[in-house]
Amino acid sequence: MKEIVLSLCEGPHDVAFIYRTLRSRGYTHFNKRLEEYPFPIGDFFKKEAHKENLEQLTLEELRQGLLPSTAMACDESLVLLYALGGDTRKSQRKRLIQTIHSFSSDGCDSKEFTFGYGTSYKVLYFYDADKKGVEARLKEISKEISDIFGPDSLPISTNGICRTYGSITIGAYIFAGEDGKGTLENILLPLMKCENEDIFNAAEIYINNHHDPTRMSRLKIEMRADGSPEEKRETKKGKFDRSKSLIGIVGQLQNPGATNQVTIQHSDYLTLKKIQDSNICNDILNMF
């Protein structure tokens, strides 16, 4: 492989969208054993899969390892798709980038790369603007970069651009609506709804008729002091996301019981032509 790209996404929905988008450019699923990945990334994965003191780790700590969700390849490019979470996973992102930077440094190792010496590395952030906005998110990412490469590192000040830091390239694309705020769904929904208006409008009506804010608090079954079970409502209400609910409802028509991740990755609401005609999708693809 001549290039290895790490796609750092916030969650599985983002991974599914990037996966689907990359398929439109000829990328295919890279379903190989860990030993078949190029050195040294393959060795790093094996160490992550067989962590030291494995018996001392909790299931939660195991899930916070630095293994990608999936991998894709096209020609001489390998893409590793990560769902690394948001603000609370900053330390994991930092460790991952530092590791990749050590791979790409001149003094990395005397061994040759399995797929050819001289492999280049790229790290791409894909995150939601949320209420903070695109500019604020880019500043946060630039701060993460400066924490790794030093305070003189140039910031990523424009959405969709890449810069070189040391021996690796880093870029960022922030998902947002036209007002510069929002989430991936601000991009997804218009694409998915196009040519499927009747289905999505009917799903909107269903949500309007049946969504009950008073039922947003989770119902738990807990144990009393005497050991008997009882039901309790959480005092904190969950956050209702209309866009995610809408995608979930229409997705059940094609993949019953599936998650939104499956709907984004496999349904015909997001066709090849829609991806190819989308300026946003093309901007994202041009970063790879």
Residue 136 is part of a domain; what is its CATH number? Answer: 3.40.50.10620
Residues 153 and 204 reside in one and the same domain: no
95 found inside a domain:
yes
Would you tell me how many other CB atoms lie within 10 Å of the CB of residue 111? 10
pLDDT more than 90, % of the chain: 71
Highest-scoring range by mean pLDDT, 33-47, 48-62, 250-264: 250-264
pLDDT band at 112 (very low <50, low <70, confident <90, very high): very low
Backbone φ and ψ for 130, nearest 5 degrees, come out as: 55, -150
239 found inside a domain:
yes
Residues 237 and 102 reside in one and the same domain: no
Residues 147 and 215: their CA atoms lie apart, in Å, by: 43
Residues 42 and 120 reside in one and the same domain: yes
Q: Give the model's pLDDT for residue 237.
A: 82
pLDDT more than 70, % of the chain: 90
Q: Give the model's pLDDT for residue 16.
A: 98
Of 132, 245, 120, which is closest to residue 181 (Cα–Cα)? 132
Residues 175 and 184: their CA atoms lie apart, in Å, by: 5
Indicate the residue among 153, 182, 211 that finishes a domain.
Answer: 182
Q: Is the pLDDT of residue 214 over 80?
A: yes
Q: Is the pLDDT of residue 207 over 70?
A: yes
Q: Give the model's pLDDT for residue 99.
A: 87
Rounded mean pLDDT, 159-182: 95
Its domain, for residue 223, covers: 185-270
Using alpha carbons, list the distances in angstroms from residue 7 to 65, 122, 284. 15, 8, 11
Residues 159 and 249: their CA atoms lie apart, in Å, by: 31
Residues 100 and 153 reside in one and the same domain: yes
As given in the structure block, the two tokens for residue 253 are 């028509």
Q: Is the pLDDT of residue 101 over 50?
A: yes
Residues 145 and 247 reside in one and the same domain: no
Tell me the one-letter amino acid at 67: L
Indicate the residue among 120, 152, 182 that finishes a domain.
Answer: 182
277 found inside a domain:
no
Residues 215 and 93 reside in one and the same domain: no
14 found inside a domain:
yes
Q: Give the model's pLDDT for residue 61.
A: 58
pLDDT band at 265 (very low <50, low <70, confident <90, very high): very high
pLDDT band at 51 (very low <50, low <70, confident <90, very high): low
Q: Is the pLDDT of residue 142 over 90?
A: yes
Number of compact structural domains in the chain: 2
Q: Is the pLDDT of residue 232 over 70?
A: yes
Residues 148 and 191 reside in one and the same domain: no
Neighbouring residues of 194: CB distance < 8 A, sequence distance ≥ 6: 274
Strand order in the sheet with 3-9: 28-29, 70-74, 77-83, 3-9, 120-128, 168-175, 162-165
Cα angle vertex 10, ends 9, 15, to 5°? 45
Indicate the residue among 157, 182, 207 that finishes a domain.
Answer: 182
Residues 145 and 265 reside in one and the same domain: no
Residues 86 and 36 reside in one and the same domain: yes
Residues 10 and 118 reside in one and the same domain: yes
Q: Is the pLDDT of residue 110 over 60?
A: no
288 found inside a domain:
no
Residues 164 and 44 reside in one and the same domain: yes
285 found inside a domain:
no
pTM for the complete prediction? 0.88
Using alpha carbons, list the distances in angstroms from residue 161 to 156, 173, 254, 270. 7, 8, 36, 25
Q: Give the model's pLDDT for residue 158.
A: 97
Residues 19 and 129 reside in one and the same domain: yes
